[in-house]
Amino acid sequence: MAEIKENIVMFPFMAQGHIIPFLGLALELEKKTGYTITFVNIPQNIKKIQPLLPPTSAIRLLEIPFDPSAHGLPPNFETTESLPPLLRMVR
């Protein structure tokens, strides 16, 4: 019977200021534990994270769908990075 590894699921807030530190933590956990790490986020952020992983990393990236229009946002506004500055939003 195959050994079952513990799994850590990481789902940071969908902004770069949260994602990069979480990714650093995921890489440290991968080095120091025998756990499987699954990093969850929206497709736009997963595409940015993929090239940051070392080729030897076993961290799994899982995309979750996000439809901005379902939350009252314009199309293609998937992250806080793509939103206009607050000042322009209130004019």
pTM of the model: 0.76
Q: Indicate if the pLDDT at residue 67 is higher than 90.
A: no
Q: How many domains does the chain have?
A: 1
3-state SS track over the chain: CCCCCCEEEECCCCCHHHHHHHHHHHHHHHHHCCCEEEEEECHHHHHHHHHHCCCCCCCEEEECCCCHHHHCCCCCCCCHHHCCCHHHHHC
Q: Is residue 46 part of a domain?
A: yes
Q: Is residue 31 part of a domain?
A: yes
| 68/25: higher pLDDT | 25
pLDDT classification of 87: cutoffs 50, 70, 90: very low
Q: Is residue 2 part of a domain?
A: no
Q: Is residue 15 part of a domain?
A: yes
12 lies in which domain range?
Answer: 7-90
**Each residue's pLDDT tens digit, 28-63:** 999 998 899 999 999 989 999 999 999 999 999 999
Of 2-6, 13-17, 46-50, 80-84, least confident by mean pLDDT is 80-84
